[in-house]
Structure 1
Amino acid sequence: MKIKQIHSLFLECNSVCTDTRKIKKDDIFFALKGDNFDGNAYAEQAIKKGAKYVVIDEAEYKTSVNTILVNDVLETLQKLASFHRKFLNVPIIALTGSNGKTTTKELINAVLSQKYKTTATRGNLNNHIGVPLTLLSMNSNTEIGIVEMGANHQKEIEFLCKIATPNYGYITNFGKAHLEGFGGVEGVIKGKSEMYDYLITSNETIFVNHQDPIQVKKTNKAKRFVFGNKTHADVIVEFIDAQPFVVCKYNNLKIKSQLIGDYNFNNIAAAITIGNYFNVEDSAIKTAVENYTPTNNRSQIIEKDTNKIILDAYNANPTSMHAALINFEKYTGFKIAILGDMFELGKDAKQEHQEITDLAISLNIDTVILVGENFYKSGSNSKIVIQYKTFLDFKNEFNFTQIKNATLLIKGSRGMALERVLEII
């Protein structure tokens, strides 16, 4: 069956589903495969649960006229998403970067939805499956699509751009993330810049942070819309303060966000800039930014008993960890940093964990708790450092009742799940 025919059937359905536990009536189910599962085996169950159509790639599971047999389910999902994107022909804004992708995406969506009907990536579904699902969640009501793209290897962003064919793009930054897969910092820059390559070749618009020399250099020959605090930028957003929340100035408006850390200033500035480009009123931009509250363990401030907790445990890499610690030092009172291992650093893991350990010791922080195998190996003779090889060791051995009237920073890679600290403080 051709993609055009499958698309016609897709339009009869309510939504796309890849998990039979979440199927709703009249969904279309794609039987994807993973390391430990084969979606084909759930095809019949999907029909019984209310799926209107099921897409499979193993003939033995074709048990119904509503079952569509294809050569490869994942490839079909991606081709269908690309076809649907062209069918709708709505403006697509794509964004990637080492840090701040999801927060920036949420801010952009908050700003643009003040004027437009938007569809944006849910959560961080930003890979070779998530991007197609985002595109397929768009419909005739969508006026602007916002697509987050993640990658940990070369050519992934290029591939995602070919599926989404964005009209606009923004790269938050180039940092020390996924060094193992990209092959070092230069590999990160090359991999993320695949978005620039696509947009420049297609003569599409790139949003550029003038304060980032890499962005400026990489887009020198591009059609671009620039923001910064320079007078020759297209949009000027000025940083005012970040104690504890970021405050900035835009077109004589003082905007008070609910995001901590000066590292979030560029994320806010990008959303303001894109709102300006799409003619969202200044007052609406201010409302959107001021009303946005972070969720899902990202830069959240939580009051618990006598303690203030900065929960930034969704993910971590050396760049974001460095920024979080520098910002944390600015807080007053008794400060405790609870840091978890940073993943996907490959041969650089030892050095990067040691550098973060040394940084934490050098700052005005009262206690530094390091959790994870890599941090456990870091060398430290400092009395303020406590090291645990596993989270279980930390949970069992540390006296949490001693934490009173303190400000805590909790940050680590997703696999460390340091938000569990909240359950035991």
Structure 2
Amino acid sequence: MKIDELHQVFLNYPRVCTDTRKIKPGDLFFALKGDNFNGNEYADQALEKGAAYAIIDEEKHTGKQKILVENVLKTLQNLGTFHRRSSKAKVIGLTGSNGKTTTKELINSVLSKKYRTIATSGNLNNHIGVPLTLLSIKEDTEIAIVEMGANHQKEIEFLCSIAEPDFGYITNFGKAHLEGFGGVEGVIKGKSELYDFLIANEKGVFMNADDPIQKEKLKDYINKYGFSTSDTKYYQIRLVEANPFVVISVEDTIMGSQLIGEYNFTNCCAAVIMGKYFNVHLDKIKAGLEEYVPSNNRSQIIEKNGLKIVLDAYNANPTSMYAAIQNFTKIEGGTKVLFLGDMFELGESAHEEHQKIADLAKELDFDNVFLIGQNFYEVKSGFKKMKSFDDLKNHLTKYSLPNSTFLIKGSRGMALERILELI
């Protein structure tokens, strides 16, 4: 079936699913394959659960209500691009080492004050998530905010070929996925593929003009819209405070937020500059920032059993870990306790980067520090070290932490939010 014909089917059944456990009547089931599964084998199950059609790529599974294509994944990606091209919506591409999802949610909160918007759900930001996001564009959608993740070079370039963004923004360049990118220079090159696409296609670029990497990359490009705390050639935004919540000043208007830490300042700035570009009234921009509430274990402050907990356990890399620890020193609270979990995907830099974090924690002289995970277990620190979460669990049953303020930070695989169940 040609892609334009499949698109007509999609318009009649505009809901896509790739997991038979989540099928709803009328869905289009795309039989994707993975290392340990073959979606073709679940096509009948999807239809039994009410799927309108199953898109498959193995002839032996053909039958009624099944659409045979050459490659299901490629078809999903092509359908996403075709649908995006058939829409009048402007597409904003977003990538970076840290803060992608928070920035995406802030931008959506601001722009939705004036426009009909859609945005990436959660962090569905890969070669499957991006086309799924594009397919969530409705007939009346005016702006789509598409998050793009990557851990290797050329991945952002590929995602741009699917999403064809009209605008784009890179949150930052940090020490994330060093193993896949081959070091910090690889991170810069890989993330910059978004700006490379926009420049090559003469599209709009949003930028942090205080970031020297972005400033150098875009110095000769005209179609750019930047913010800065100091360079008057760009839109001026000032950080008022972050104690603990970020407060900013825009055109003498004070805007609060429910985000903690100075590291969230530029995330707020990105939402402001896009709001200004798309002519959202300043009062609406303010409302969009102030109404956004972080979730999914990202930069949340929780009160439990007399304890104040800074929960930032969704993910971690050396850049975000350093920022979180530095910010924690500025948060008021009695006994300060760190729970730090391993940072993944650092390759040969793993030991060095974990040692740097341990050294930072020692230098800042917190009351208690717990290091959890194999990488942290191997550093020199003088802190309490546990190879696994179970070891921490056993230790905490014997440990009293009254009137304390916690920082919980680690990579997703560590799932350190489980600490909340222990206190």
Scaled by the length of structure 1, what TM-score is found?
0.98
Q: For residue 393 of structure 1, what is the aligned residue in structure 2?
A: 391
Q: Take 1:195 and 1:201, find their aligned partners in 2: how far apart are those partners?
A: 10
Q: Indicate if the aligned counterparts of 1:329 and 1:364 stay in contact, CA closer than 8 A.
A: no
Q: Take 2:231 and 2:180, find their aligned partners in 1: how far apart are those partners?
A: 39
Q: For residue 82 of structure 1, what is the aligned residue in structure 2?
A: 81
Residue 201 (structure 2) pairs with residue 202 (structure 1): yes
Q: Indicate if the aligned counterparts of 1:176 and 1:319 stay in contact, CA closer than 8 A.
A: yes
Judged with a 3 Å threshold, the aligned counterparts in structure 2 of structure 1 residues 95 and 256 are, in CA distance, closer, same or farther, namely: same
Identify the range of structure 1 (188-197 vs 221-230) with the bigger mean alpha-carbon deviation.
221-230
Q: Indicate if the aligned counterparts of 1:311 and 1:410 stay in contact, CA closer than 8 A.
A: yes
Q: For residue 19 of structure 1, what is the aligned residue in structure 2?
A: 19
Residue 314 (structure 2) pairs with residue 314 (structure 1): yes
Letter in 2 for 1:60: K
Q: Take 1:134 and 1:359, find their aligned partners in 2: how far apart are those partners?
A: 39
The residue correspondences of 1:55-74 to structure 2 (distance < 5 A) are 55-64=55-64, 66-74=65-73
Q: Take 2:91 and 2:219, find their aligned partners in 1: how far apart are those partners?
A: 22
Q: Take 1:284 and 1:331, find their aligned partners in 2: how far apart are those partners?
A: 29
Letter in 2 for 1:334: T
Judged with a 3 Å threshold, the aligned counterparts in structure 2 of structure 1 residues 231 and 354 are, in CA distance, closer, same or farther, namely: closer
Letter in 2 for 1:81: G
Q: Take 2:16 and 2:398, find their aligned partners in 1: how far apart are those partners?
A: 45
Q: For residue 348 of structure 2, what is the aligned residue in structure 1?
A: 347
**TM superposition shift of 1:393:** 0.8
5+ residue gaps, structure 2? none
Letter in 2 for 1:370: L
Q: Take 1:364 and 1:276, find their aligned partners in 2: how far apart are those partners?
A: 42
Letter in 2 for 1:299: S
**TM superposition shift of 1:400:** 6.0
**TM superposition shift of 1:14:** 3.3
List per-residue Cα deviations over 1:275-316 (Å, max 9, x = no partner): 000000000010110111100000010000110000000000
Q: Take 1:400 and 1:423, find their aligned partners in 2: how far apart are those partners?
A: 15
**TM superposition shift of 1:231:** 5.2
Q: Indicate if the aligned counterparts of 1:3 and 1:80 stay in contact, CA closer than 8 A.
A: yes
**TM superposition shift of 1:45:** 1.0
Identify the range of structure 1 (325-334 vs 117-126) with the bigger mean alpha-carbon deviation.
325-334
Q: For residue 44 of structure 1, what is the aligned residue in structure 2?
A: 44
The residue correspondences of 1:153-302 to structure 2 (distance < 5 A) are 153-222=152-221, 223-230=223-230, 232-302=232-302
Q: Take 2:158 and 2:320, find their aligned partners in 1: how far apart are those partners?
A: 26
Q: Indicate if the aligned counterparts of 1:241 and 1:247 stay in contact, CA closer than 8 A.
A: yes
Letter in 2 for 1:350: H
Q: Indicate if the aligned counterparts of 1:94 and 1:148 stay in contact, CA closer than 8 A.
A: yes
Q: Indicate if the aligned counterparts of 2:209 and 2:234 stay in contact, CA closer than 8 A.
A: no
Letter in 2 for 1:192: K
Q: Take 1:195 and 1:232, find their aligned partners in 2: how far apart are those partners?
A: 26
Q: Take 2:274 and 2:364, find their aligned partners in 1: how far apart are those partners?
A: 36
Q: Take 1:251 and 1:67, find their aligned partners in 2: how far apart are those partners?
A: 57
Q: Indicate if the aligned counterparts of 1:259 and 1:294 stay in contact, CA closer than 8 A.
A: yes
**TM superposition shift of 1:60:** 1.1
5+ residue gaps, structure 1? none
The residue correspondences of 1:394-409 to structure 2 (distance < 5 A) are 394-399=392-397, 401-409=399-407
Judged with a 3 Å threshold, the aligned counterparts in structure 2 of structure 1 residues 82 and 358 are, in CA distance, closer, same or farther, namely: same
Q: For residue 415 of structure 2, what is the aligned residue in structure 1?
A: 417
**TM superposition shift of 1:71:** 1.0
The residue correspondences of 1:326-365 to structure 2 (distance < 5 A) are 326-332=326-332, 333-365=334-366
Three-state SS of the structure 1 residue aligned to 2:12 is coil
Three-state SS of the structure 2 residue aligned to 1:402 is coil
Three-state SS of the structure 1 residue aligned to 2:256 is strand
Three-state SS of the structure 2 residue aligned to 1:11 is helix
List per-residue Cα deviations over 1:195-241 (Å, max 9, x = no partner): 01100000011111111000111111222001012352442111010
Three-state SS of the structure 1 residue aligned to 2:172 is coil
Letter in 1 for 2:31: A
Three-state SS of the structure 2 residue aligned to 1:257 is coil
Letter in 1 for 2:226: V
Q: Indicate if the aligned counterparts of 2:311 and 2:409 stay in contact, CA closer than 8 A.
A: yes
Q: Take 1:238 and 1:142, find their aligned partners in 2: how far apart are those partners?
A: 32
**RMSD of aligned alpha carbons:** 1.0
Three-state SS of the structure 2 residue aligned to 1:227 is strand
Q: Indicate if the aligned counterparts of 1:44 and 1:63 stay in contact, CA closer than 8 A.
A: no
Three-state SS of the structure 1 residue aligned to 2:236 is strand
* Consecutive aligned runs of 4 or more in structure 1 exceeding 6 Å deviation: none
Q: Indicate if the aligned counterparts of 1:157 and 1:195 stay in contact, CA closer than 8 A.
A: yes
Q: Take 2:146 and 2:372, find their aligned partners in 1: how far apart are those partners?
A: 34
Q: Take 1:13 and 1:103, find their aligned partners in 2: how far apart are those partners?
A: 31
Judged with a 3 Å threshold, the aligned counterparts in structure 2 of structure 1 residues 400 and 93 are, in CA distance, closer, same or farther, namely: farther
Three-state SS of the structure 2 residue aligned to 1:206 is strand
**TM superposition shift of 1:365:** 1.3
Q: Take 1:180 and 1:9, find their aligned partners in 2: how far apart are those partners?
A: 41
